[in-house]
């Protein structure tokens, strides 16, 4: 077993790192403070192909593996959690299901501009009454002639108002399953600007405040029949499979946040003096840093393993769940310790760790809470 | 149009500098980057490629690991890479380096050669102009803007307070300043393609019309007496005195040190 990254991956990391340091980091504080979507940064990333890293070249992407994509989200999130999730939601939750389940026409029409970054993608599954219980959907789609008519709403949608293409889930009927009637869910591609598709309130969040999180409202929204994504009635499977990939993206975001907090804290404890010496000279600080670094590395190994599994295995739900569960909890723990080691300054907005701690919390919640990840992992153990 | 760009792998100033016992740099032991002026030269070539269409070949001389800068250049958009590496070429000064690079470039078709003004490790600014002498072609140094007009290049040559507009027939050599442009980033897909591409590797035997007496450490007229890393200065001394007392204090200190 060799844990060494290939030269290609090392060079890709240096690219993402350089971009993050030069283009993303200087804006991170302002993006957070003003809750502004970093549109200019997204355009720069689009030009460099960051919005289509794991998409094949024939569909406008970079043709790289999931590990390269994970490293991109990781490096961006080291300096700005907002920028990390924009790439993750776009790539994992919109490009990936269209690549996996889309028809050739859908790939030509939607995937190519998405992968080139000419358009931004989003994913709408969550509803006010359907979070962890994704089966609790209320949004409906009814076929009327050559069009599907959507009615309902989605909430907490990342890239909400900024996206152009949305993968949306809706009930298309009921089916009998083990003697019980259950909802039949299907997936659709919806374009911004479609009549009947509007935006509700913008969410004011604790962290990742530059990311555009909106409610999506569908009122007699008519979309072409051919915008059904995958087979009718297979929406739940599409959503779950898509979220397996998404969890690798969020795990990478969590990993990046933890790494960013650790690096920032290492620099801080060398400078900050108390009782006549740098606080890094105290054994408590040293032990805290040792624990943080060990957990960060363990998280990285799980995240990279999950990314590699996505490249080589058909099913990687457990690997993705373990990576997200652990990386998210490490992100929360490490950013909290980073704030503690910064003392009072860590509680002040001027210091990056304050933002990182707020950004980290969401990684334990979205794209499957930590509890959901434990259900996925234990479900496989007790099968 | 065919453009040859010379690039050098240089120590990353963020890492430490290490020396061989003979005073030359221990390049194998240091973190490295593409020399910034060379990167600007490469960007200039890639912009000419975007604007006029061109084939860009990147040439470097160095240890086998210098291949990394060629891959980086190809990930930015260069078409081909040539690595000139051979033990007998080690320890070269500017004369031996320019002789070597000219010997390699003689094997290539070119309309334009672009080099960086100077490398951040040697800071001589000699290799580019020397290559042009070896190849007997015109050189325009310190380019801040490059345009193509027919079979000529029109270059703005930078001075401290002005610039000259110089026109030269191709083939010619241009040395570029890092202020010339903001080099583009690599692309993720470009990196993986660059590592799949073949790199041409040439040794001493592949160099055209060069004399062994002008190669490597033996062929280098420059002899290094002593080399050292910069020594960190102490924290200094802070005193709080009235202006008159302060002047006397400083003058006394300077006298002690024989500065005045």
Mean of the per-residue pLDDT values for chain A?
97
Integer Cα distance of B45 and B27 in angstroms: 27
Integer Cα distance of A295 and A317 in angstroms: 22
Query: Average pLDDT, stretch A364-372?
Result: 96
Interface confidence, given as ipTM, is 0.93
Q: What is the pLDDT of residue B11?
A: 83
User: Searching chain A, which residue's CA lies closest to the CA of residue B189?
Assistant: A62
Percent of chain B whose pLDDT exceeds 90:
67
User: Searching chain A, which residue's CA lies closest to the CA of residue B67?
Assistant: A7
Give pLDDT tens digits for A190-225. 999 999 999 999 999 999 999 999 999 999 999 999
Give pLDDT tens digits for A275-291. 999 999 999 999 999 99
pTM of the model: 0.90
Which of the residues A17, A41, A53, A62 would you substitute to probe the B interface, choosing the one with the greatest number of B C-beta atoms within 10 Å? A62
Does pLDDT of B236 surpass 90?
Answer: no
Q: Which of A29-33, B20-24, B221-225 bottoms out in mean pLDDT, i.e. has the lowest?
A: B20-24
Is residue A203 flagged as an active site residue? no
Tell me how many degrees the CA angle B171-B174-B178 measures, rounded to the nearest 5. Answer: 155
Integer Cα distance of A256 and A331 in angstroms: 8
Give pLDDT tens digits for B118-176. 888 777 888 899 999 999 999 999 998 999 999 999 999 998 889 999 999 999 999 99
Give pLDDT tens digits for A248-260. 999 999 999 999 9
Q: A177: pLDDT confidence band, cut at 50, 70 and 90?
A: confident
Candidate list A350, A354, A367, A371, residue with the active-site label? A367
- CATH 3.40.50.620 at B2-214, yes or no: yes
Give pLDDT tens digits for B82-110. 999 999 998 888 899 999 999 999 999 99
Does pLDDT of A297 surpass 90?
Answer: yes
Contact A15 B68 (CB under 8 A): no
- List the alpha helices (DSSP H) in A116-234: none
Q: What is the pLDDT of residue A377?
A: 98
CB proximity under 8 Å: B 185-244 to A: 185-189, 191-192, 195
Q: B21: pLDDT confidence band, cut at 50, 70 and 90?
A: confident
Q: What is the pLDDT of residue B163?
A: 93
Contact B188 A7 (CB under 8 A): no
Q: What is the pLDDT of residue B222?
A: 86
Percent of chain A whose pLDDT exceeds 90:
95
Of B177, B204, B191, give the one whose Cα is nearest residue B61.
B204
- For residue A186, what are the β-bridge partners? A170
Q: Which of A6, A7, A12 sits opposite B188 (nearest CB)?
A: A12
- Structural domain spans, chain B: 2-214
Give pLDDT tens digits for B105-117. 999 999 999 999 8
Of A219, A235, A223, give the one whose Cα is nearest residue A148.
A223
Contact B189 A18 (CB under 8 A): no
């Amino acid at each position: 077993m060799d844990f060494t990254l290939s030269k290609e991956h090392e060079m890709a990391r240096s690219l993402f790192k350089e971009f993050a340091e030069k283009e993303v980091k200087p804006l991170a504080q302002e993006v957070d403070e003003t809750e502004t979507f970093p549109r200019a940064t997204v355009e720069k990333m689009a030009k460099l192909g960051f919005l289509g890293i794991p998409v094949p070249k024939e569909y406008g992407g970079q043709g790289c593996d999931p590990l390269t994509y994970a490293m991109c989200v990781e490096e961006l999130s080291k300096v700005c959690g907002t920028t990390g999730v924009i790439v993750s939601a776009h790539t994992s939750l919109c490009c990936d299901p269209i690549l996996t389940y889309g028809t050739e026409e859908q790939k030509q029409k939607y995937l190519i501009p998405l992968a080139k970054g000419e358009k931004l993608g989003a994913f709408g599954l969550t509803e006010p009454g359907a979070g962890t219980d994704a089966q609790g959907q209320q949004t409906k789609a009814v076929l009327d002639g050559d069009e599907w008519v959507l009615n309902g709403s989605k909430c907490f949608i990342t890239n909400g108002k900024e996206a152009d293409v949305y993968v949306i889930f809706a009930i298309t009927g009921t089916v009998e399953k083990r003697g019980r009637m259950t909802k039949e869910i299907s997936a659709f591609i919806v374009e911004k600007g479609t009549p009947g598709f509007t935006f509700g309130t913008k969410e004011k969040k604790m962290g990742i405040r530059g990311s555009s999180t909106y409610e999506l409202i569908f009122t007699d929204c008519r979309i072409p029949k051919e915008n059904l994504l995958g087979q009718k009635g297979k929406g739940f499977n599409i959503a779950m499979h898509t979220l397996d990939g998404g969890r690798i993206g969020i795990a990478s975001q969590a990993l990046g946040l933890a790494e960013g907090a650790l690096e920032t804290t290492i620099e801080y404890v060398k400078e900050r003096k108390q009782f006549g010496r740098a606080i890094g000279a105290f054994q408590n600080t040293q032990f805290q840093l040792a624990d943080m670094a060990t957990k960060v590395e363990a998280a990285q190994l799980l995240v990279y393993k999950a990314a590699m599994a996505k490249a080589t295995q058909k099913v990687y739900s457990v690997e993705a769940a373990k990576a997200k569960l652990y990386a998210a909890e490490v992100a929360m723990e490490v950013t909290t310790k980073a704030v503690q080691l910064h003392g009072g300054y860590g509680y002040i907005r001027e210091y990056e760790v304050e933002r990182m701690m707020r950004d980290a919390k969401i990684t334990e919640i979205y794209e499957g809470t930590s509890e959901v990840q434990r259900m996925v992992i234990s479900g496989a153990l007790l099968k | 149009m065919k453009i040859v760009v010379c690039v050098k792998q240089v120590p990353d100033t963020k890492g430490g500098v290490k020396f061989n016992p003979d005073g030359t740099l221990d390049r194998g032991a240091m973190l490295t980057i593409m020399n910034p002026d060379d990167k600007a030269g490469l960007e200039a070539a890639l912009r000419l490629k975007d604007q006029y269409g061109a084939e860009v070949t990147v040439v470097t001389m160095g240890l086998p690991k210098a291949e990394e800068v060629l891959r980086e250049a190809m990930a930015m958009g260069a078409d081909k890479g040539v690595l000139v590496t051979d033990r007998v070429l080690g320890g070269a000064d500017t004369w031996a380096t320019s002789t070597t690079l000219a010997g390699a470039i003689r094997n290539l078709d070119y309309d334009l050669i672009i080099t960086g003004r100077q490398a951040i490790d040697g800071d001589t600014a000699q290799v580019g102009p020397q290559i042009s002498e070896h190849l007997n072609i015109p050189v325009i140094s310190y380019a801040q803007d490059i345009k193509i007009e027919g079979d000529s290049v029109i270059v703005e040559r930078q001075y401290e307070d002005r610039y000259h507009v110089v026109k030269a027939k191709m083939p010619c050599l241009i040395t570029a300043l890092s202020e010339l442009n903001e080099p583009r980033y690599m692309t993720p897909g470009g990196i993986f393609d660059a590592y799949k591409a073949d790199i041409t590797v040439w040794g001493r035997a592949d160099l055209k019309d060069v004399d062994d007496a002008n190669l490597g450490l033996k062929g280098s007229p420059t002899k290094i007496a002593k080399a050292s890393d910069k020594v960190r200065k102490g924290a200094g001394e802070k005193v709080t005195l009235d202006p008159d007392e302060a002047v006397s204090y400083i003058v006394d200190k300077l006298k002690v040190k024989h500065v005045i």
